[in-house]
Amino acid sequence: MVLGLVFGLFNLLAFAQVTSEVDTTKIKIGQQISYKIKVEADSSALVVFPEGQTFMPLESVEALDIDTTKKEAKYYLSRIYKLTQFDSGAYTIPRQKIIIGDKPFYTDSLSVEVNTIEVDTTKQKLFDIKPIIEVERSGGNWWIWLLVALAAIALVAFLLYWFIWRPKPLTEEEEIALLPPYDRAKLALKKLDESQYLIRSEVKTYYSELTLVIRKYLDEKVYERSLESTTDELIARLQLLKEGNQFAFTKDTIHNLETILKRADLVKFAKSAPDAALIEMDRATIEKEVDNVKACLPEPTEEEKLLDQQYKEAQERKKKRKKIILTTAISVLLIIATFVGFGLKYGFRNVVDTILGNDSKELLESEWVESAYGYPPVYIETPEVLMRMPDTIPEALKDKVELSLFAFGGVEENITVTVSTLRTLVEGDEQGQEDAQKNVTQAIDQILNRWEATNVQNIITKGEQYITPNAVEGVKTFGNADFPIPDTEDSRKMEYSIFSFATTDAIMQIILVWSKDDIYVEEIVDRIIDSIELKSDEQAEAEQQTQN
């Protein structure tokens, strides 16, 4: 069996064969190459072709369906890939990996030449570069934060509803408290019957609860000091109410109540022990007298009913007001706790600026733009696209020099960014290194003189050498000055930095003016400065040779 597997594997590998070809090895920029892979394999083998961008530096535009034919015990498979490249040069299509069964196979690498498209300027008109247009900024991920905020608000609202506003089921004590006094008295007697006081021979407790039932009922409906009165005081008050025709108590009712209350006093204080029959009779008498007292009560007047309704409404308003106060207090505490938490983690000023909004902070956190300006190009990253500004070259000099000027911001926005390139157009007028440096010094002086002419005061200037991240040397001029605020007579203290670079035929300058009082603008300036990049003559020449 092992030998059979070995021979089967040998036959599979023996039948497997991979080849590749292209329909052309020379194309123009943007044209497509048909790259074809052909596979010959055993009919039982699983074949996996390349997927995705495996043809770099060429780009895979499309992968056609696999074409399969079968002949005897073999499969003949082929697949065509459409490849292209948008930069001229000589490129090599790397070897491609094809898996047949469990074994990888590789195609040969192929060379392709991509040529530029020659333009006949006698037939094809040339047009000016289109001006920069405003593009609406993408919305970003604000919707994620909106969903998080809505989820947090929903959670807090649910918790407040569940623990404060949700109608809660009443406890047994609360349900009893809502009953009318008569119903509470009857229910209390029923619960007394269900108690174990008499079984445990707790006669004192039994009589205390029994007399408490009638005292509470009298306290709520007849005499409001019934609970704290002695037996004699309570009986005397009931007799007085009867004689004053306030309540139509019968003599038997007053007598029965006096008898039971005094017996209860004897049980509680003299340790008297009535027999079971007497206790049962007293229980029945109390229930009967509760009914008798109720029958003697006058019907409530309309005024009393109104007062009772007003009292209930006042209680409801009181409860609602209490819930509102509690909800407000919890909400304020949650807001304060959230603010303090975020403040401790991200800084209180950062949190306040995020909530209330800060133009500089929004500028810092916006989607920055990295671009090249002028020629020779100045590469720089800014929070906004620099707008092309009109040049100030006199008409008489426009055939000799060219000025490219781009700017963004202003004094009101706490930051100004300007990129300028002044290039000579006269052939053979290239300057030496010393002359180039002299021109840089003159250009810096012209900027400072122009500032003074526009009422910039108290200019303090320092200078030092500056080297870009890609090792291009230049001059950094920096300091501070009082810049006038447009349309006002006021001025504000601003920091500035001028980065100047020179080639044999051009001077490039980046001018930054910003408010030092704004921490976000400080971060913006640092990020812009770190992004400044130019190419020296040697770097540009080396890059040109690489492309050719």
Average pLDDT over residues 291-304: 80
* Sign of the CA dihedral running 442, 448, 451, 453: negative
Note the pLDDT of residue 353.
65
Strand partners, 218: none
Note the pLDDT of residue 178.
73
Q: Indicate the pLDDT class of residue 264, thresholds 50, 70 and 90.
A: very high
Q: Indicate the pLDDT class of residue 387, thresholds 50, 70 and 90.
A: confident
Strand partners, 509: 420, 500
Percent of the chain with pLDDT over 70: 81
- Tens digit of pLDDT for each residue in 490-547? 888 889 999 998 877 788 889 999 887 778 888 888 988 988 888 655 555 555 455 4
Q: Indicate the pLDDT class of residue 187, thresholds 50, 70 and 90.
A: very high
* Whether the predicted pLDDT of 321 surpasses 60: yes
- Tens digit of pLDDT for each residue in 106-139? 888 888 888 877 655 565 556 566 666 665 555 5
Note the pLDDT of residue 233.
93
Rounded Cα–Cα distance for residues 476 and 511 (Å): 10
* Whether the predicted pLDDT of 189 surpasses 50: yes
Q: H helices within 222-372, ranges in order?
A: 231-243, 251-269, 276-296, 302-346, 348-356, 359-364
* Whether the predicted pLDDT of 212 surpasses 70: yes
Rounded Cα–Cα distance for residues 412 and 409 (Å): 8
- What's the whole-model pTM score? 0.45
- Tens digit of pLDDT for each residue in 248-259? 889 999 999 999
Q: Indicate the pLDDT class of residue 14, thresholds 50, 70 and 90.
A: very low
Yes or no: say if 15 and 77 are a contact pair by the CB < 8 Å rule.
no
Beta-carbon contacts of residue 422 (< 8 Å; ≥ 6 apart) = 401, 402, 403, 443, 506, 507
Note the pLDDT of residue 210.
92
Note the pLDDT of residue 118.
67
Yes or no: say if 417 and 528 are a contact pair by the CB < 8 Å rule.
yes
Note the pLDDT of residue 126.
60
| 455 vs 71 pLDDT, higher one | 455
Q: pLDDT averaged over the chain?
A: 80
In degrees and rounded to multiples of 5, residue 226 shows phi and psi of -65, -35
Q: Please give the sequence-ordered ranges of beta strands (E in DSSP) within 181-248, or none if there are none.
A: none
Note the pLDDT of residue 7.
32
* Whether the predicted pLDDT of 140 surpasses 60: no
Q: Indicate the pLDDT class of residue 266, thresholds 50, 70 and 90.
A: very high
- Tens digit of pLDDT for each residue in 157-169? 887 777 777 777 7
Tokens of 424: 């000579």
Note the pLDDT of residue 2.
31
Average pLDDT over residues 132-147: 62
Note the pLDDT of residue 1.
31
Note the pLDDT of residue 229.
92
Q: Which range among 42-56, 142-156, 445-459 has the greatest average pLDDT?
A: 445-459
* Whether the predicted pLDDT of 370 surpasses 80: yes
Yes or no: say if 135 and 47 are a contact pair by the CB < 8 Å rule.
no
- Tens digit of pLDDT for each residue in 339-351? 777 777 666 666 6
Average pLDDT over residues 63-90: 84
* Whether the predicted pLDDT of 4 surpasses 60: no
